[in-house]
């Protein structure tokens, strides 16, 4: 008759082998996922670049802008090396009296939606799903995340404030250039 401890050891060994097989399979899937994500991002960048080339829209006037680096955020003078942009769209730092019309179109649209949804009550704030809906986007996670990314960029540039995570309103109230 086999001992109880011996039976437990056999089952433990089988379970450990199963975990190792599944872990190796997960590693292979994660590696393939990383390759697929890299390829996908390259196509997204390619589409954005082609869109930039095909759209002959003038960019906003160059002003001193924040340059985001991996380690810190620092102030720099305008010039060809200024990298305060996403997809070639420069989002200027808000100065007192700045008009949202100097923002790239997509960011102006976010300011318009926040204006419509927040209204005269500067204490209220709007969420990313409401912003995405106000922009006419489908409420998919990717579209909502894109709206969140742009709204957060407007926060870092001083155009919007985020009093509660994921909720946006005007920076400094209605005097925020609207």
Band of residue 10 on the pLDDT scale cut at 50, 70, 90:
very high
Query: Side-chain half-sphere of 154: how many Cα atoms within 13 Å?
Result: 32
Secondary structure letter of residue 138 according to DSSP: -
Q: Whole-model pTM? A: 0.47
**Which range is most confident: 14-28, 36-50, 68-82?**
14-28
The pLDDT score that the predictor gives to residue 121 is 64
- Give the orientation angle of helix 105-118 with respect to helix 141-156, to 10 degrees: 90
Cβ pair 168, 160 in contact under 8 A: yes
The pLDDT confidence band at residue 19, using thresholds 50, 70 and 90, is very high
Determine contact, residues 177/99, Cβ cutoff 8 Å: yes
DSSP H helices, the chain, are: 4-54, 105-118, 128-134, 141-156
| Residue 151 contacts residue 129 (beta carbons within 8 Å) | no
Starting from the edge strand earliest in sequence, which strands make up the sheet with 167-170, in order? 126-127, 167-170, 160-164
């Amino acid at each position: 008759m086999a001992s109880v401890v011996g039976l437990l050891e056999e089952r433990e060994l089988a379970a450990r082998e199963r975990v190792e097989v599944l872990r190796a399979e997960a590693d292979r899937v994660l590696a393939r996922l990383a390759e697929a994500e890299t390829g996908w991002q390259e196509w997204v960048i390619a589409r954005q670049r082609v869109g930039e080339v095909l759209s002959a829209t003038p960019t906003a006037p160059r002003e001193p802008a924040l340059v985001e680096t991996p380690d810190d955020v620092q102030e720099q003078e305008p010039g060809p090396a200024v990298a305060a942009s996403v997809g070639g769209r420069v989002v200027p730092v808000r100065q007192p009296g700045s008009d949202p019309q100097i923002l790239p179109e997509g960011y102006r649209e976010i300011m318009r939606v926040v204006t419509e949804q927040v209204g005269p009550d500067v204490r209220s704030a709007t969420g990313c799903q409401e912003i995405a809906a106000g922009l006419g986007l489908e409420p998919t996670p990717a579209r909502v995340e894109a709206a969140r990314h742009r709204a957060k960029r407007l926060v870092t540039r001083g155009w919007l404030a985020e009093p509660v995570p994921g909720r946006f309103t005007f920076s400094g109230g209605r005097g925020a250039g609207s």
